[in-house]
A and B are shown apart, each in its own frame.
Chain A
Amino acid sequence: RKEVEQDPGPFNVPEGATVAFNCTYSNSASQSFFWYRQDCRKEPKLLMSVYSSGNEDGRFTAQLNRASQYISLLIRDSKLSDSATYLCVSDSWGKLQFGAGTQVVVTP
């Protein structure tokens, strides 16, 4: 079983709509989590850190459910520039495990 699993998508989202997707993790000892976004042929860029139950930054909301071992990312009022692959990452004492990513495509 993969340590971090994500729905690869793509999630096709009309501009202005809301999209949400989950990431499940298998290591219950994971202490913190991150969402990165990665554009095609570019490096991952940190979007959000999740240390407790969740985090919100503008249009982006992450929620952590430790009991069910998943993290979600919700994007409100989607912009065309939100089109990217979103990588879920779990951190257990400095050991990061990356998911393969969820592709989001925002359409006009």
Chain B
Amino acid sequence: ETGVTQTPRHLVMGMTNKKSLKCEQHLGHNAMYWYKQSAKKPLELMFVYNFKEQTENNSVPSRFSPECPNSSHLFLHLHTLQPEDSALYLCASSQADSAGGSYEQYFGPGTRLTVT
């Protein structure tokens, strides 16, 4: 499936590095999301963009910085991460209506991040 793509699929970075994760959706959706999934834990919502506007930031540390240049692309810029930030980072997209409701979310394959 190529509905939602993410690059890179794997990333190893040092604590002083700066890197970016990229997500692209080909489904014509207008909402995009970043999630973090750590081992044996529920998915944690990080950021939500509806109609390219950030509508949610779930108390995420500033070392994670999202960017949504258009409704099809979403980035997560990373800098000075900590080892506990190692996780699977998943991007998702959905169709959202103007009232704030949304429909099913479709996920990309994720970026498995290891911080050394």
Contacts and interface: CB of A to CB of B under 8 A. Distances in A.
Given A4-B42, A96-B45, A100-B42, A43 B110 contact: yes
Contacts of A41: 88, 112
B106 interface: yes
Interface residues on B, range: 20 to 34
A44 interface: yes
A44 B92 CA distance: 10
Contact of A43 (B90, B96, B104): B90
Nearest to B110: A43
Contacts of A94: 31, 48, 50, 94, 96, 100-102
A95 B101 CA distance: 8
A93 B101 contact: yes
A49 to B, nearest CB: 6
A45 interface: yes
17 contacts: A8-B40, A43-B109, A44-B43, A46-B106, A87-B43, A93-B99, A93-B100, A94-B50, A94-B94, A94-B100, A94-B102, A95-B56, A96-B45, A97-B42, A98-B43, A99-B42, A101-B42
Pairs A-B, 10 closest by C-beta atoms: A94-B102, A43-B107, A98-B43, A98-B42, A100-B42, A93-B100, A43-B109, A43-B110, A46-B104, A44-B107
Interface of A: 2, 4, 8, 31, 34, 41-46, 49, 87, 91, 93-101
